[in-house]
């Protein structure tokens, strides 16, 4: 396919129909960090319908004022990022329902609140439900939402009902299948939006644009020219008070099965027949489906797990916890394009610096084949001679290419230089949206391209589950906080 624009948000297509946004777990960590700041960002950019209401569901009891004050004080926004007046007007759209998530009375009250907003607005409005709660609560909430008929869109077709589900989507292949089955029973596929917020990052979307809009790279996107790919998601933060959630999950399920595999899919996928939602999702899923399963025999060779020193002294973590905060996998993809090309997938918390990037190493004619294969057995001299294309996902989003030029002088010696593009230099765009802003926006307009499909989720679990089944057998490396890499 020739260079073509990837689907772009069209401000004209924004939803102007009244919308009620129901957030389960509105006082929780995810809502404070990601969801509410994004909603506020969209409000300030005038990207929300004029008539919108947020109904938060929480187990706590507040007065209306206390509720808004609690939202205000917990919302992660930088000082001065938004005008106080805007925040105040934004919060005027908020109300809440108190109750236990498994109590059917909560849903009866919620249905009444929704109806009273509809009555006030004089129409049946759109409803968007967001589950900002631990996955163990999904089944109860979904069943109760359906039990109160809240899953049914307006009878006259005037408003839709959609549901946003956060990762981790299940715990393994079996639980993901049963969650999917439940969702399929209660909602139509067009109503379900499965979030992997990495897919909505500008710098990730740019991988596809860059690959398919620049004719010079795609012909080289092949094992004949590519030596290896290294996908890193390093975080400086520790579990940061999310111990209770994190300890039941671990790095591989927290970011491996979803964010890292989403990056792999975008690098490894074939060119879609078109850039429509289904074609893109189908190719992403196909790439994941071709991952070569890691067997019990090859596990110790291809997989490493680790934990930062002091993890089990964090609040909410049992002293004897062996949950991993780091993993590295050497993955392979079964396809003519990628046969024998290692994909190193690596992620850790408490690293020296936050850095998410993808390095694509090209084969070098001055390197003996095989010399640059092994992860830490790399011949450094060999690696120095390779062209490297780096997608910098965050921070300091951009793309760079290492190439070689002749060193001035009498000999033909060469030295490496960089071609660089930084978003911050040239692409600060008024329409740029943060990841959660984009996700909410797309859920409003009903575009599922940046959401994970069932096929992608199932393919990624099929790869990760056999590894998790043998997880206990792998030794746990303890690493110091503030490392740059793990041997």
Q: Which is closer to ligand BG6, CB of 76 or CB of 112?
A: 76
**Binding track over 233-252 against ligand BG6, x by CB under 6 A:** --x-----------------
Q: Which is closer to ligand BG6, CB of 96 or CB of 246?
A: 246
Select the residue whose beta carbon is closest to ligand BG6 and give its number: 254
Q: Which is closer to ligand BG6, CB of 130 or CB of 197?
A: 197
Shortest Cβ 134–ligand BG6 spacing (Å): 11
Q: What is the DSSP letter of 413?
A: -
> Phi/psi of residue 93, each to 5°?
-85, 0
In terms of phi and psi (left: phi > 0; alpha: psi -120 to 50; beta: otherwise), the region of 224 is alpha
**Binding track over 300-339 against ligand BG6, x by CB under 6 A:** ----------------------------------------
| Residues 206-235 interacting with ligand BG6 (rule: CB under 6 A) | 235
Q: What is the DSSP letter of 245?
A: H
Give yes or no: 259 in active site.
yes
279: Cα separation from own chain's centroid: 20
369: Cα separation from own chain's centroid: 35
- CA trace torsion 151, 154, 156, 160 (10° rounding): -90
Q: Which of 93, 259, 376, 441 is catalytic?
A: 259
Shortest Cβ 255–ligand BG6 spacing (Å): 6
Q: Which is closer to ligand BG6, CB of 106 or CB of 233?
A: 233
**Binding track over 148-187 against ligand BG6, x by CB under 6 A:** ----------------------------------------
Residue among 97, 102, 80, 72 at smallest CA distance from 20 = 97
Query: CA 375, CA 354: separation in Å to the nearest integer?
Result: 21
Radius of gyration of the chain (CA): 24
Q: Which is closer to ligand BG6, CB of 67 or CB of 198?
A: 198
Q: Does 255 bind ligand BG6 (CB under 6 A)?
A: yes
Shortest Cβ 99–ligand BG6 spacing (Å): 26
CB 193 within 8 A of CB 229: no
| Residues 11-40 interacting with ligand BG6 (rule: CB under 6 A) | none
End-to-end CA distance of the chain: 41
What is the SS3 assignment for 344-410?
EEEEECCECCCEEEEEEEECCCCCCCCCCCCCCCCCHHHHHCCCEEEEEEECCCEEEEEEEEECCCC
Determine which residue in the list 118, 202, 254, 397 makes contact with ligand BG6, applying CB under 6 A: 254
**Binding track over 405-434 against ligand BG6, x by CB under 6 A:** ------------------------------
Question: For binding to ligand BG6 (CB under 6 A), which residues are involved?
Answer: 197, 235, 254-255
Active site positions, annotated: 259
């Amino acid at each position: 396919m020739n260079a073509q624009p990837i689907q772009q948000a069209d401000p004209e297509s924004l939803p102007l129909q009244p919308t009620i946004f129901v957030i389960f777990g509105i006082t929780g960590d995810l809502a404070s960090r990601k969801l509410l700041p994004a909603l506020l960002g969209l409000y300030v950019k005038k990207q929300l319908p004029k008539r919108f209401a947020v109904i938060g569901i929480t187990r706590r009891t507040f007065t209306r004022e206390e509720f808004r004050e609690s939202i205000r004080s917990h919302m992660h926004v930088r000082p001065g990022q938004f005008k106080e007046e805007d925040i105040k007007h934004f919060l005027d759209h908020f109300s809440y329902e108190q109750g236990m998530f498994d109590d059917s009375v909560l849903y009866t009250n919620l249905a009444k609140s929704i109806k009273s907003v509809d009555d006030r607005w004089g129409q049946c409005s759109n409803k968007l439900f967001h589950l900002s709660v631990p996955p163990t609560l999904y089944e109860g909430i979904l069943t109760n939402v359906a039990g109160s008929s809240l899953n049914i869109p307006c009878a006259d077709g005037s408003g839709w009902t959609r549901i946003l589900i956060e990762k981790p989507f299940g715990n393994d292949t079996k639980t993901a299948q049963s969650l999917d089955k439940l969702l399929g029973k209660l909602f139509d596929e067009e109503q379900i939006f499965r979030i992997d917020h990495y897919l909505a990052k500008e710098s990730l979307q740019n991988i596809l644009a860059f690959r398919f809009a620049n004719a010079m790279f795609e012909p080289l996107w092949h094992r004949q020219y590519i030596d290896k790919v290294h996908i890193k998601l390093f975080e400086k933060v520790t579990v940061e008070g999310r111990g209770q959630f994190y300890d039941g999950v671990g790095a591989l399920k927290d970011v491996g099965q979803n964010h890292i595999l989403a990056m792999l899919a975008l690098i490894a996928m074939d060119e879609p027949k078109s850039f429509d939602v289904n074609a893109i999702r189908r190719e992403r899923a196909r790439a994941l489906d071709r991952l070569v399963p890691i067997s019990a025999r090859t596990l110790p060779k291809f997989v490493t797990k680790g934990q930062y020193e002091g993890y089990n002294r964090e609040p909410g973590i049992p002293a004897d916890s062996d949950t991993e905060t780091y993993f590295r996998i050497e993955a392979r993809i079964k396809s003519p394009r990628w046969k024998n090309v290692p994909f190193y997938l690596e992620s850790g918390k408490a690293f020296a610096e936050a850095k998410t990037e993808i390095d694509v190493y090209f084969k070098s004619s001055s390197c003996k084949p095989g010399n640059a294969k092994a992860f830490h057995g790399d011949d450094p001299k060999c690696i120095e001679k390779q062209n490297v294309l780096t997608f910098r996902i965050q921070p300091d989003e951009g793309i760079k290419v290492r190439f070689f030029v002749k060193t001035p002088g009498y000999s033909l010696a060469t030295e490496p230089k960089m071609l660089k593009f930084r978003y911050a230099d040239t692409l600060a765009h008024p329409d740029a949206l943060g990841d959660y802003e984009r996700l909410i926006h797309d859920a409003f307009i009903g575009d599922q391209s940046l959401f994970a499909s069932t096929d992608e989720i199932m393919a990624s679990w099929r790869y990760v589950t056999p590894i998790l089944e043998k997880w206990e057998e792998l030794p746990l490396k303890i690493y110091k906080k503030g490392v740059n890499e793990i041997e």
